Structure 1
């Protein structure tokens, strides 16, 4: 007995399959593109906005051209469009690092620096995929232009939803960028083969075989390249970022989205590789009595080198809030982190952790800022008030801010200073480099009305038996900055992106210590990309 037509299982026609797969692939590539481009150009609003602009422009151009040629559409033409897209994905897998490097040298405003790379890498394949929708509408069996176009674009949108969701929640946490690219390429090749059935031409079969080999080869070749940073001992995609652990001589460094976050000396674990982490100990000079410091909170874990030094040097209980579980796992495996009753890691957002916690901390270290992407919710007046409530009566806040000490690139530092000064009676600032460049600036806020002078801090440095000599750090204390031209940051208006704009493309100096235990900084490294911090 035949089933009523409405109850028969629905089967996608070949044009419908093509438009569905094009939706999956185009949106999946758009999500993946952020991970590909961010290590070179950062993941700030201009990179993300550039990606959206290029993808939408390329799709629109493909729709337009495809509509003009739709009267000649056929399954065979869509087969070659899908195969051509797969070839370009192989190029993206193999050559993306090289293309990103060379396009970064084009003399453009930092706002637009990522556009050439985005256009070259993702414009052509997205343009080709744009042809599929009008071709599928032309080949649709639906009666009427409205019914055909509505059906096709609904299928394409459903594919886009699946592509975005699967890439975000399933693929990126489980696979590398190259592996995800390979998967998209294989899906396109497989769909092209289905479109050519039941009697694919010899030319199509050869093309399918050759492109499949090209995709696999591009993935293999991409993984064989030498990394100028050193030996990659571990890499993965997390739900939040790309995570790499790189060994260069005796120094092991954690990179997140291509930016250095933490470093440890494998031969001398007590060494603070990045100079700015030595400034964390200034909190013990500003405390009335360091022996009264019992509970410490770090917001931002990274390699957990800062928390581990505090656990080793001081009789304190330490909580660390790190939003990315994979980062904590890498710290345990590669940076010597051992959780205990004295050092506990918590997965989650720093602000939410404070909001839900009843603990009172004597020291809070805010080390979750990035140069190109600052979590604005942890910069605002409301957040500083929450920190104030979470600190003991003599509590101290240290915020590691990436900015310039003066000039146009100092706007974020000065706005953060002004915001903290609205909540706390006294705010200190310390530069970590003598260079007039973007660097790690340490802002320390206390509840003490009396401001200590550099001489007062030096006396405490001499009298207290701290594990490191902080003379150099004290010498880098800065005067109160001018803040008349910068805003107080608030939840409803924290213009962080605008404040970070002047820093885009500027040199970022990261001072490093020498290999002598307890020594101060003797050298610096710099980068013009988008380094960040969470040591």
Structure 2
């Protein structure tokens, strides 16, 4: 084994190692930037465009400046200094990244450019420094000609970028937190520095290397109280799709995905609706014919209009599909309260596990859980449903493939003759920030004869707007819903929700969304920077920063 370091050194030169690692770290940081920025600015095309543009600009500037200086300044020791300076910037990202993101989010820019200052300040400097590595590596290369040196170095750097992209995407992000991923990249820079310094190990440079390593480890090891305005953090991780946090505040446990509250549970009364908008999930039970249902008294003896005396009447609704699980508030309530079979489709397997471990969800004969993408599941299933609830969305938007005309036709094909479709949309009900909601309404109306909407908050704030579509040609009036609410025993008094009935929605100025053209990002742009408001039963209100970015 004693000859291994020498044989390795013969095959991989020090400059090549630096170039390879710079490729790994630059592309890894670019992937990581998306995860760090999304909770504050969302993950829209504008955010990703800003990230890609800043990284390319910083690398280009680094290549240019590094090329100018390489012929007279390129040495192994200077190469190490650049790697260590980059590592120090990574430590700053770990320690103060979230604070800087919040502080840099207030620039008076058009919404589509809102993430640009933060991305530039956080990721511009380390990426700029990494741009120096390739021209320095070419200058220090053993190749005889400039062309051979340049081609070899850039090939090595590109291979490193490929490793960084795949490693961050498929290995690091699913397994580690953002800070730990930053630590991996930082320590990779430190280890490479030590390799370049060997076997001489100049004292001053080694001390600098040790200092940066301590800085990186210290940035991760800074003790955290595990408490924020969201409450005490019970569990936190990075999934393959998003940042996931479970936090307890008083008796309320909340699931946050990319910084936005998605589900909440009362730890003392787990069956109670905590967020107001989840109560609207019961409205479709008042929109069916109930040919097989019987009238009953209004059972509303709980603080949110719910009762533990299940099952209540569900009329003609026997089979329900929820696309999007979150904390399983809706699915659990339907399975507990009604004599129905519930299928839940959730794309993120970690969300399913957390729902089971922290929110009391469990697969059982009347509630089946499927780890799949919603549209693919609908395309492949042989089942039909009486009610489909679309409750899948990220911080800033519904996945576009669940918004289009073709998808709405697929839902209609999977609904029974009297089936009902319900879509939970985050948008403003009126004004510029209502464009996406009104486009969704218009698209559903192309497939379904009747479409209804129920904004869950007053005014023009960004909120949950519930859009319900039926196959019936007959329009149900608000008065009819009020009478049905009195006569039918669905276990919850929906009088307040029915009061939010919207008869007319203006759609002349918005497009029909199709697979070929679904400009969801453009329609949601007016939402950027606006506070998303979701009320809790009992009038408590939760805000989640920008609803779209």
User: Structure 1 residue 8: deviation in Å?
Assistant: 11
Residue in structure 1 matched with residue 449 of structure 2 by the alignment: 425
Equivalent residue number for residue 44 of structure 1: 44
How many residue pairs end up in the alignment?
519
Matches within 5 A, 1:7-26: 11-26=11-26
Is the contact made by 1:67 and 1:135 (CA closer than 8 Å) also made in structure 2? yes
- State the Cα distance separating 1:166 from its structure 2 match: 0.5
2:131, 2:227 → 1: CA distance? 36
Q: Deviations over 1:379-405 (max 9, x none)?
A: 111000000000001100000011111
Q: For residues 310 and 8 of structure 1, what CA distance do their matches in structure 2 show? A: 62
Q: Displacement, 1:523? A: 4.0
Residue 225 of structure 1: CA displacement? 6.2
What's the offset of the Cα at 1:529? Answer: 2.0
Map 1:180-195 to 2 at 5 A. Answer: 180-195=181-196
The 5 A counterparts of 1:247-258 are 247-258=248-259
TM-score w.r.t. the length of structure 1 is 0.95
Contact 2:237 / 2:245 at 8 angstroms: preserved in 1?
yes
Change (3 A) 1:208 1:225: farther
**2:541 is the counterpart of 1:524:** yes
Cα pair 1:363 1:397 within 8 Å, conserved: yes
Q: Is the 8 A contact 2:261 2:544 kept in 1?
A: no
In the TM superposition, 1:265-284 aligns within 5 A as 265-284=266-285
Does residue 140 in structure 1 map to residue 153 in structure 2?
no
Offset at residue 501 of structure 1 (A): 1.0
Residues 79-114 of structure 1 deviation map (CA, whole Å, 9 limit, x = unaligned)? 100011111110110001111111112332222221
What RMSD in Å do the two structures reach over aligned CA positions? Answer: 1.6
Question: What's the counterpart of residue 158 of structure 2?
Answer: 157
Displacement after TM superposition at 1:507 (Å): 2.6
- The 5-angstrom pairing of residues 89-128 of structure 1 reads 89-128=90-129
Contact 2:258/2:394, CA 8 A, preserved across alignment:
no
**Aligned equivalent of 1:495, options 508, 513, 519:** 519
Q: Secondary structure at the match of 1:365?
A: strand
Structural mapping, 1:354-393, within 5 Å: 354-370=378-394, 372-393=396-417
2:244 match: secondary structure: strand
Task: Tell me which residue corresponds to 2:491.
Answer: 467
Q: How many angstroms apart in 2 are the aligned matches of 1:320 and 1:510?
A: 23
Q: How does the TM-score come out when normalised to structure 2? A: 0.92
Per mean C-alpha deviation after superposition, the further-off stretch among 348-357 and 368-377 is: 368-377
Distance 1:365 1:354 in 2: 12
- The whole-number CA distance in structure 2 between the counterparts of 1:528 and 1:101 is 10
- Give me the whole-angstrom Cα distance separating, in 2, the residues matched to 1:317 and 1:446: 20
Change (3 A) 1:530 1:403: closer
Quote the residue 1:215 is aligned against. 216
Task: Trace 1:288-307 onto structure 2 (pairs within 5 A).
Answer: 288-289=289-290, 290-307=314-331
Q: Is the contact made by 1:370 and 1:402 (CA closer than 8 Å) also made in structure 2?
A: no
> Contact 1:41–1:114 at 8 Å: present in 2 too?
yes
1:101-146 Cα distance to aligned partner (Å, 9 max, x none): 1111233222222111111111111111100000011111112221
Q: Aligned equivalents of 1:370 and 1:450: distance in 2?
A: 34
1:387 counterpart SS class = helix
- What corresponds to 1:84 in structure 2? 85
Kept in 2, the 8 Å contact 1:40–1:530? The answer is no
- Tell me the residue number matched to 1:4: none
**Unaligned regions of 5+ residues in structure 2, if any?**
1-6, 291-313
Answer whether contact 2:427 2:462 (CA < 8 A) is retained.
yes
